[in-house]
């Protein structure tokens, strides 16, 4: 069965630290990849997405993610986090003809000022 | 353009009761998906509706059902509530014109507490 793994469940960083959140999926065919963010008390919102083309995609608020097909990974990065980046981050994959989005369990990020 | 709206925002029910949650998608969006979000399980897919038809279904028992109306508004119903049904229920809509983009826009959710 298709699955998405987010390796870090809880991450605590200080402001200005660099961030990398891991996301791996299990599916050998064509995928569409997403990172969503849920700020405290707010809706889930799209951070960035990859459908095709340049495997390095840039999203909102300085986030970027790199699709590495050989590693089945789509890791999220930010060079310098801010306190306002404190949120829950979800990786999601749309695989092949399956119309369902498969979600990771999420990573809770806390940034200390 | 208004976002996805869900009503009610909060609900407290007793075991054995049934509940109906409502979702109004973004205008023009024809696909509506429902998710259950809990701290330990993350987002669990319930079902997806497109043009009043259930297009996809997750692995939830038959107590969970849904429907979509001609204006794309959707409802989900949970019958014979159990304590484990306490969760945040999220609705997401997508434009889904090509069938490939599948970018979803989420509502604020309905927080259901079963006592």
Distance from CA of A61 to the nearest CA of B (A): 18
Token readout for A98 is 């399956």
**Angle subtended at Cα A27 by Cα A105 and Cα B52, rounded to the nearest 5 degrees:** 70
Taking contacts as CB-CB distances below 8 angstroms, the residues of chain A near B24 are none
**pLDDT tens digit string along A38-85?**
999 899 999 999 988 999 999 999 999 999 999 999 999 999 999 999
A23 contact partners, CB below 8 Å, separation of at least 6 = A4, A5, A6, A33, A35, A73, A74, A75, A76, A91, A104
The pLDDT, as a whole number, for residue A99 is 67
Q: Is B71 left (phi over 0), alpha (psi -120 to 50) or beta?
A: alpha
Distance from CA of A112 to the nearest CA of B (A): 22
For residue A103, give the nearest of B42, B101, B109 by CB distance: B42
A8 confidence band (pLDDT: 50, 70, 90) = confident
The pLDDT, as a whole number, for residue B101 is 55
For residue A100, give the nearest of B3, B45, B109 by CB distance: B45
3-state DSSP: chain B helix, strand, coil percent, rounded to 5?
A: 5, 50, 45
Q: Is A99 on the interface with B (CB under 8 A)?
A: yes
Cβ within 8 Å of A, B 48-77: 48, 55-56, 58
For residue B90, give the nearest of A34, A44, A99 by CB distance: A44
**Angle subtended at Cα B15 by Cα B10 and Cα B16, rounded to the nearest 5 degrees:** 115
| Distances A73 to A23, A25, B31 between C-alpha atoms, Å | 6, 6, 28
Cβ contacts from A onto B, under 8 A: 48
**pLDDT tens digit string along B86-107?**
999 999 998 875 555 568 899 9
* Beta carbons of A32 and B102 less than 8 Å apart: yes
Q: Is A39 on the interface with B (CB under 8 A)?
A: no
Among the residue ranges A7-21, A89-103, B40-54, the one predicted with the least confidence is A89-103
């Amino acid at each position: 069965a298709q699955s998405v793994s987010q390796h870090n469940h809880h991450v605590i960083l200080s402001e200005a630290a660099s961030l990398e959140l891991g996301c791996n999926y299990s599916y050998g065919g064509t995928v569409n990849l997403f990172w969503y963010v849920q700020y405290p008390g707010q809706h889930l919102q799209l951070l960035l997405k990859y459908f095709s083309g340049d495997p390095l995609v840039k999203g909102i608020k300085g986030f970027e993610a790199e699709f590495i097909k050989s590693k089945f990974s789509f890791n999220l990065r930010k060079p310098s986090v801010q306190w306002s980046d404190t949120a829950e981050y979800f990786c999601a994959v749309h695989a092949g003809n399956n119309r369902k989005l498969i979600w990771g369990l999420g990573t809770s990020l806390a940034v200390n000022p | 353009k208004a976002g996805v709206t869900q009503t009610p925002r909060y609900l407290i029910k007793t075991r054995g009761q049934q509940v109906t949650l409502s979702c109004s998608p973004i205008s023009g969006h024809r696909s509506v998906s429902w998710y259950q979000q809990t701290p330990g399980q993350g987002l669990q897919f319930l079902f997806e509706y497109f043009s009043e038809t259930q297009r996809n279904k997750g692995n939830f028992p038959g107590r969970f059902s849904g429907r979509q109306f001609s204006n794309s508004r959707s409802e989900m119903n949970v019958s014979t509530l159990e304590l484990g049904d306490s969760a945040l229920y999220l609705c997401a809509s997508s434009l889904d014109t090509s069938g490939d983009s599948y970018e979803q826009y989420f509502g604020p959710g309905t927080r259901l507490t079963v006592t």
